[in-house]
Amino acid sequence: MGYLLCKLCGGYYELMQGEKPEDFLNCQCHGELEYYPELNASE
Ligand SMILES: [Zn+2]
């Protein structure tokens, strides 16, 4: 699936099965969402 990270508020959403990144162009805060195939924690 993948994740969408908001550049503005820092929130992230995990895409559910059947959902596409294109369906979520903007966050609820109207920030720009960026798609990541995996959520890589900076460890
Ligand atoms: Zn946001």
Predicted local confidence at residue 31, as pLDDT = 96
**Model confidence over 7-41: pLDDT tens digits?**
999 999 999 999 998 888 899 999 999 999 987 66
Which of 11, 8, 3, 6 minimizes the C-alpha distance to 36?
3
On the question of pLDDT at 42 being above 70, the answer is: no
The total number of structural domains in the chain stands at 1
- Do the domain assignments include residue 7? yes
Which residue range forms the structural domain that includes residue 18? 3-36
Gap from CA of 23 to ligand 1 centroid (Å)? 15
Residue 43 alpha carbon to ligand 1 centre in Å: 23
> Tokens 């699936």 label which residue?
1
* Ligand 1 center from residue 42 Cα (angstroms): 20
- H or E element: which one contains 2? none
Task: Read off the amino acid at residue 37.
Answer: P
Residue 42 resides in a domain: no
Domain-located, residue 19: yes
Token pair recorded at residue 2: 């993948």
Full-model pTM: 0.72
Whether 21 is in a domain gets the answer yes
Distance between CA atoms of residues 3 and 15, nearest Å:
6
43 to 5, 34, 35: CA distances (angstroms): 18, 20, 20
